[in-house]
Amino acid sequence: MKQFMAWPPPSWTQCVVTWDTIFEKKCRPQSLYAWCDQYASPARYHVHGWESTEGFAFRFEDPRDAVVFKLTWPAL
């Protein structure tokens, strides 16, 4: 996927990953970005801090990418 730097449209599907969940699952935030960059999809994604310091909000242009992300990221 390609990262979209501008603010995405509200129709994009959002997946929130909180710091509590990251620590609980022992996941590295860099691996979340790497997964998005390496995932084979023609669609785009956007990342922004969620509630400023609570975690990350990943937004996906294609809702199917959001589903795959939700199922995959805890194992990263």
Nearest to 36 by CA among 6, 72, 8, 9: 72
pLDDT digits (tens, 9 = 90+) for 29-45: 889 989 999 999 999 99
pLDDT of the residue at 49 = 86
What local confidence, expressed as pLDDT, does residue 50 receive? 81
pLDDT at 71: 92
Confidence grade of residue 76 (pLDDT, cut at 50, 70, 90): low
Question: How many Cα atoms sit within 13 Å of 49 on the Cβ side?
Answer: 4
The predicted pLDDT at position 36 comes to 94
